Amino acid sequence: MSVEQLTEELHFNGIDGASNGYLLPPLTPEQVAKIAQGEDFDPLELSELKQKDPRYQEGHFAPMEGVDPKNLAETGWGVIFAFNADPVIKEALKELLEHRQKQATQKHEHYYTQILHLEI
């Protein structure tokens, strides 16, 4: 293999439907070989790969695999009120908040949270 072939980056595993970009960051043949052989990545090299991958640059709040996002007993639920929110807002949402709390705390009491005052 030539030096150019060893340093050329390869794209694997399809397209990310949300971003229309590649699903994984490009990898060199050497990196692919390490993965295939079960070798560990150098922490610096791994950090560099994560910086190339937009999924590590943007936070996401999706539930873990195997958790039904429509089942609040599995995902939890919370609400944040701005520090200067009018109490009328909380009162108007009271019925919804009680309903969500009942759904979210079926298995775990801490799966429901209200933050009443968030100071910036």
Interatomic CA distance for residues 78 and 52, integer angstroms? 32
Interatomic CA distance for residues 70 and 104, integer angstroms? 11
Asked whether the predicted pLDDT for residue 35 surpasses 60, the reply is yes
Residue with tokens 């043949």: 29
Predicted confidence at residue 107, as pLDDT, reads 92
**Per residue in 2-33, pLDDT tens?**
656 556 787 777 777 777 777 777 888 888 88
Q: How much of the chain, in percent, has pLDDT values that exceed 90?
A: 23
List the chain domain ranges: 3-57, 72-118
Burial group, residue 30, by CB count within 10 angstroms (0-12, 13-18, 19+):
exposed
Interatomic CA distance for residues 50 and 105, integer angstroms? 35
pTM score? 0.47
